[in-house]
Structure 1
Amino acid sequence: MNKATDPQTHSTTPTFPTAPLNTWPVLGWYEGLRQWSGHWARLSGLFDGEPPTPPSVSEPGSSDADDGPTSLDRLLRANLGRATLGISPASLALAYFDWAVHLAVSPGKWQQLVEKGVRKSIRLGNYAVRAHANAGCPACIQPLPQDRRFSSPAWHNWPFNLISQAFLLNQQWWHNATTGISGVSRHHEQVVSFTARQLLDMMSPINFVATNPEVLQSTLQEQGQNLLRGLRHFQADWERAIGGKPPLGAEAYRPGHEVAITPGQVVYRNRLIELIQYTPQTGQVHAEPVLIVPAWIMKYYILDLSPGNSLVNYLVGQGHTVFMISWHNPHSDDRDIGLEDYLRLGVLDALDAIRAIIPNAPVHSVGYCLGGTLLSIAAAYLAREADPILASVTLLAAQTDFTEAGELMLFIDHSQLSYLEDIMWDQGYLDTKQMSGAFQLLRSNDLIWSRLVHEYLMGRREPLNDMMAWNADATRMPYRMHSEYLRRFFLNNDLAEGRYRIGGHPVVLSDIRVPMFVVATETDHVAPWRSVYKIHLIADTEVSFLLTSGGHNAGIVSEPGHDGRHYRLSHRTSDHPYIDPETWFASTTPHEGSWWPAWSEWLRSHSDGLREPPPMGAAEQGYPPLGNAPGSYVLQR
């Protein structure tokens, strides 16, 4: 038996919580066309002699704004981007022509593909004969482990078993056709293979009533009521999408009411952050406070969901004084906010506030996703400035080296980033719909097509849970910051290679001397664990590395008592020899359960005893309590 092979996909479960269908690409295309009509007048005005508003920032990486693209070029591409969901047609064309030209001069590859096609046709024909006589005969090809589309017993019956086998054989052939061609760049090969996979997933037999036995069976049993329910679901999702409303059921998870309810006070606010100090729950607390820096691509309360799965609530219950940054949701007026602003107005201002509220106490710092990357920059900067404010650094699903940044690199090249920058230049930020579309395409089977079948063809709607509702509560990204982030980290890898500068001087991660606790998740497609593991090649200090089951969000939100969880943990001193990730994985014993207690014990081992709980804020130092948690920034739309 053969297995379909696909080196681009490793995970066995979706790593993102299921996204609401109001960001389904069809709805995004409608929204793009609607916005196009609103911007056409601006484009027309360019030919009538009406100059557009000039860009307030020069193109990232350009030393002279006059040498960059003209406003006409940018406005045209920005409007095209709304119809293409931010995907650059030029980038796709370059990848396609690279593949097509090299394939055209590879007769040996042609011969190989013809031979494979003939063999697959013969194998399918033999299977058709055997399956017609015996529905239980062995399949001629097995789907990939993470592909659960054909797992229902209904797909084993004639003729649906033949339909599914033909599709899988065709999928395997196209993988062979788009990979392994000499001369094609690795990036272009990945883009072409990914695009072919998306087109095949779109035409999968599960997506059509006539070729999906489960849908057919449900339609016959319910006399078509499932399709009517699905039509109502689609209409409701469409109306919510074009009205800019959250998905149905999100109203049951309101920050400050059902989620983000750990008691606390906002003790500092500037134009970019609110700093929340949480109320102590124990008679004594650890001497060192904890500062959490979440990603600004998401609302902070992923780490303070319902009380039972809130990392904040867990830490406070373990006797820690916890501070949390809540980021402002940017709009067009914030287009000029850059990465250094996020460092200074975010992490450094928060540390100054903590220093005033709890004097003479170093801080256990924690960064999640993009917040972890920013925290590593802050730690390196503070090390360069010889500031002893940090007691430790914990990075949660955060990358510091971006050479193996996973499938997100499919959307990262010079053409794609230029196209994306033009969209952001026009509106001042990257919209939530444009970000969510890319993430959904990375797991289109789970986040688009399987849900389309389940909700619109089967007519079944699963209620939202707290993580799904949080996932729909997305934020925007400022133009300058997101351009700098994508170019300097993903494209140029400046941070890992010592070229990233703060205040005109480079910050180097090997300068960090405080102990580090680094958490990665097994099925993370946003920060792949092997990429996170590269901290061992960068850091020159004590590193504790933990790999937990789950994905980018569900692996981090892994409270004690969560069924099916496990983790691996190792500790490395600065003079310990390097171990490659595969060897490390094979030689490190897995432990059952949540990783939270192991981290809590590590924090305790790097703390200096207990003390009386500190006051809430420090009014005399200029940090009075400003209001109850979760504050106002988390409620911004």
Structure 2
Amino acid sequence: MRSVRNWQTEEGPFQALNHWKEALIAQATGGGSPAAFALALADWWMHLCTAPGKQLKLGLKCGTEAAALCRHAALPWTGVNRSASTPAADSAQAPPAWQREPFSLWWHAFQSARLWWMDATRDVPGVAAHHADLVSFCAAQWCDMFSPANFAWSNPVVLERSLAEGGRNLIAGQMNFLADLQRRLSHAPEEGTERFQVGKDVAVTPGAVVFRNHLIELIQYEPSTATAHPEPILITPAWIMKYYVLDLSPGNSLIRHLVAQGYTVFCISWRNVDSRDRNLSLDDYLHMGFMAALDAVCRIVPGCRVHAVGYCLGGTLLCIAAAAMAGKKDDRLATLTLLAAQTDFTEPGGLGLYIDASEVYLLESLMWAQGYLSAGQMSAAFQSLRPVSDTAARAVRRYLLGEHTAPNDLMAWNADSTRMPYRMHAEYLRKLFLNNELADGRYQVDGRIIALRNIRVPIYALGTENDRIAPWQSIYKIHYQTDADIRFVLASGGHNAGVVSEPGHPGRWHRVRQGEMDRLRVGPDEWAAGSSLRAGSWWPDWHAWLDAYSGPAQPGLRPLGEPGAIRASLTPAPGLFVLQN
């Protein structure tokens, strides 16, 4: 372990007292900083109170909406087409069942109030952009809690189902609620996730652990073709979750797909850390993680350059490693593939709503007290980013309509999260998220500043259309940070589902730009306007790109592990670390 200092003992008793106080607040609030929200609310409120023009505009809008609501209420008595007075948001969101009275009036009133609050929390002169985003997001979430669709007495779909089934749907919904409550109190996983057991149902691509240290297991997968490209692939997944999102069920496993294309595939499986690992640093994840894995791959497949693949945080780490290697004239990488991975955090997506100095300090204190950030605490942060309307719609289906939807393998994986050590995550939040040191050319590795512009190997960068964690416009900024040959692809789906997008998956598409147009350094909107839409998965496009930078496939099966390794002594995939709770 490369860590050289203990942050807990070096900070002193006075800072320890501050940390304990913040940790208690964090435990009471679920990890959210009340100071951060109070500052945002005060910023918005004080500037709104001193903006007479904005106040007048909101007052006029309130009167206009009230008049529109009165006209809408009178429509059933006049015979005029109701849709003519319905706000744009209504026509886009209201299902047919909501066109009858009094439900149409309730829906109209709700949408009018929601639109007014969105206007009230936006474009207030003088408010900091971060504070405006936070207040507007919270206002939208709060409004959506009171949507008439969320209550049995005001939801026409629920009322019709209850009448048709004699209330059996409500009884089934209450049974679902009690079962979910029992699971939550006992910290049991979601019902149905037990159908996806690691090593039996998911993460079943044959292979073995060929290298292990304190932080990682390196898995090499068995070849399934008679020929193989000489260049191996090394995958670095995010350590925030278990690695097997890229090796789910056999039908949607990216790793199995790559093996079937004739590649020798390696993948890192991260250790699920505990309080004893509190002082593991970002440098440890670089050196004991990616660099140790790369050294092992180069011993197993000597004389060949490596296709490096990074997913989410793993892609960020991969860029740090590639820049550091470029500064040392280390040319072992053949290409870089960045899957939903950011290198510039000025537009970090939904998480940016929470990440400011106050929130980072609160999280640092929570991790200081525990030694890590737990899976539940991180999951709560991601869950809070989901629109309340989505969460409420699921609750209505499950608790009011009595429906039951079994989770799929991706949902089961999403419930199998990991812990992150105190020092590493604190460094990640401060250096990358808060201070943006990597994009600004201030990030140091081993005491030396690294530069992304030194990366010269070809890059395949994937963004996904509905990514709330790493927006594709943010991922696109890799174009401005390096002079490498970049192929950028925009895929349908979100942060996880957009990556797990196997060929044959219905409704999938991706966008590309061809030839010289793909090499132009243009903005993301201009890139999208000049791109072409292709139906289907992005996977075939990627392995065609890999083929162009790979040597011809050669006959012969490559054995697992270093030369001379005894197969019986190797731990079968998926290894031991992925099974840690």
Give the TM-score of the pair, scaled to structure 1: 0.87
Q: 2: distance between equivalents of 1:133 and 1:98?
A: 46
- Name the structure 2 match of 1:617: 561
Structure 1 residue corresponding to 2:297, chosen from 350, 354, 368: 354
Sequence identity percentage:
48
1:309-342 alpha-carbon deviations (Å, 9 max, x no partner): 1100100000000001111111111111111111
Give 2:397's match in structure 1, choosing from 430, 454, 459.
Answer: 454
Tell which deviates more after alignment, 72-81 or 304-313: 72-81
Query: Residues 37-57 of structure 1, C-alpha deviation per residue, up to 9 Å, x if partnerless?
Result: xxxxxxxxxxxxxxxxxx941
For residues 268 and 517 of structure 2, the distance between their equivalents in structure 1, rounded to whole angstroms, comes to 30
Q: Which residue does the alignment assign to 1:72?
A: 17
Gaps of 5+ in 2: none
CA distance in structure 1 between the aligned counterparts of 2:98 and 2:376, rounded to whole angstroms: 35
1:268–1:625 CA contact under 8 A, matched in 2: no
Aligned-pair distance for 1:447?
4.5
Structure 1 counterpart of 2:481, which letter? I
Q: Matched residue of 1:616: which SS? A: coil
> What residue number does 2:579 align with?
635
SS of alignment partner, residue 416 of structure 2: coil
In 2, Cα distance between equivalents of 1:116 and 1:622: 76
Counterpart for residue 22 of structure 1: none
User: Is the Cα contact below 8 Å between 1:541 and 1:573 reproduced in 2?
Assistant: no
Q: CA deviation at 1:65?
A: 2.7
> Is 2:102 the counterpart of 1:159?
yes
Give, in whole Å, the separation in 1 of the partners of 2:567 and 2:42: 59
User: Aligned AA for 1:633?
Assistant: F
Quote the offset at 1:134 in angstroms: 4.8
Unaligned regions of 5+ residues in structure 1, if any? 1-54
Q: Does 1:269 align with 2:219?
A: no
> Which residue number corresponds to residue 561 of structure 1?
504
2:343 aligned with 1:435: no
CA spacing shift, 1:69–1:384, aligned 2, 3 Å? farther
Residue 404 of structure 1 and its aligned partner are, at CA, apart by 1.2
Cα deviation 1:543-563 (Å, max 9, x = unaligned): 111111111111111111111
| Cα distance in structure 2, aligned partners of 1:537 and 1:623 | 46
CA contact (8 A) 1:543 1:572 kept: no
User: How does 1:14-163 map onto structure 2 within 5 Å?
Assistant: 56-57=6-7, 65-66=11-12, 70-131=15-76, 134=79, 137-138=82-83, 139-143=85-89, 148=93, 150-151=94-95, 153-163=96-106
SS at match of 2:280: coil
Alignment check: 8 A CA contact 1:268 1:624 kept = no
Counterpart-to-counterpart distance in 1, 2:567 and 2:285: 20
Aligned to 1:213: 156
2:339 aligned partner: 396
Q: 1:602 aligns with which of 545, 548, 553?
A: 545
| Cα distance in 2, alignment partners of residues 283 and 142 from structure 1 | 58
Task: Please give the residue correspondences for 1:515-554 in structure 2 after superposition, counting only pairs within 5 Å.
Answer: 515-554=458-497
Query: Does residue 230 in structure 1 map to residue 176 in structure 2?
Result: no
The equivalent of 2:366 in structure 1 is: 423
Q: Which residue of structure 2 aligns with residue 592 of structure 1?
A: 535
TM superposition shift of 1:219: 2.2
For 2:423 and 2:146, how far apart are their aligned partners in 1?
38
Distance in 2 of aligned mates of 1:258 and 1:244: 22
Residue 444 of structure 1 deviates from its aligned partner by 2.6
The CA RMSD measured in Å over matched residues stands at 2.1
Show the counterpart of 2:192. 249
Distance change >3 Å, CA 80–CA 248, structure 1 → 2: same
CA distance in 2 between counterparts of 1:288 and 1:504 reads 31
- Aligned equivalent of 2:351: 408
Equivalent of 1:195 in 118, 138, 151? 138
Deviation per CA, 1:26-82, whole angstroms, max 9, x where unpaired? xxxxxxxxxxxxxxxxxxxxxxxxxxxxx94169xxxx734x963233222212212
Alpha-carbon separation, structure 2, partners of 1:507 and 1:570: 30
| TM-score of the aligned structures, taking structure 2 as reference length | 0.95
SS at match of 1:258: coil
Paired with 1:446 and 1:591, the residues of 2 have a C-alpha distance of 31
1: CA distance between counterparts of 2:240 and 2:221?
23
Which whole-Å CA distance do the structure 1 matches of 2:376 and 2:218 have between them? Answer: 27
Q: Shift of residue 135 of structure 1? A: 8.9
Report the 3-state secondary structure (helix = DSSP H, G, I; strand = E; otherwise coil) of the residue aligned with 1:383. Answer: helix
Deviations 1:247-287 (A, max 9, x none): 11111001110111110011111111111000000011001
> How many residue pairs are counted as aligned between the two chains?
575
In structure 1, how many angstroms separate the alpha carbons of the residues matched to 2:228 and 2:389?
43
Residues 283 and 445, structure 2, Cα contact 8 Å, conserved in 1: yes
SS in 1 for 2:412: helix
- Higher mean alpha-carbon deviation, 276-285 vs 469-478, is at 469-478
Give the letter for the 1:618 counterpart: E
Shift of the alpha carbon at 1:620? Answer: 4.2
Match of 2:260 among 293, 317, 328: 317
CA offsets per residue over residues 361-406 of structure 1, 9 Å max, x none?
1100000000000001111111111111111000000001111112
For residue 572 of structure 2, what is the amino acid of its counterpart? N
What SS is found at the alignment partner of 2:341? Answer: coil
Q: Deviations over 1:180-200 (max 9, x none)?
A: 111100000111111111111
What is the match of residue 36 of structure 1?
Answer: none
Aligned to 1:492: 435
How far apart, CA to CA, are the structure 1 residues paired with 2:399 and 2:416? 23
Give the SS at the match of 1:143: helix
1:411-461 CA-to-partner distances (Å, cap 9, x unmatched) read 110011111111111111112222222222222335421111111122211
* Structure 1 contact 135–157 (Cα < 8 Å) conserved: no
Following superposition, the deviation at residue 242 of structure 1 comes to: 2.1
- Structure 2 contact 372–420 (Cα < 8 Å) conserved: yes
Q: Distance in 2 between matches of 1:545 and 1:427?
A: 40
Q: Deviations over 1:158-195 (max 9, x none)?
A: 00011011000000000111111111000001111111
Q: Go from structure 1 to structure 2 and tell me whether the alpha carbon gap of 1:419 and 1:225 turns closer, same or farther (over 3 Å shift).
A: same
Counterparts in 2 of 1:603 and 1:165: CA distance versus 1, 3 Å: same
| Structure 1 residues 131 and 395: CA distance shift in structure 2, 3 A | farther
CA distance in 2, matches of 1:394, 1:379: 11
Q: Which residue of 2 aligns with 1:26?
A: none
SS in 2 for 1:330: coil
What is the CA–CA distance in structure 2 between the aligned matches of 1:448 and 1:275, rounded to whole Å?
37
Structure 2 CA distance, aligned partners of 1:388 and 1:297? 29
Q: Write the distance in 2 (CA, Å) between the matches of 1:410 and 1:276.
A: 36
Q: Which amino acid aligns with 1:87?
A: G
| Aligned-partner Cα distance in 2 for 1:577–1:342 | 34
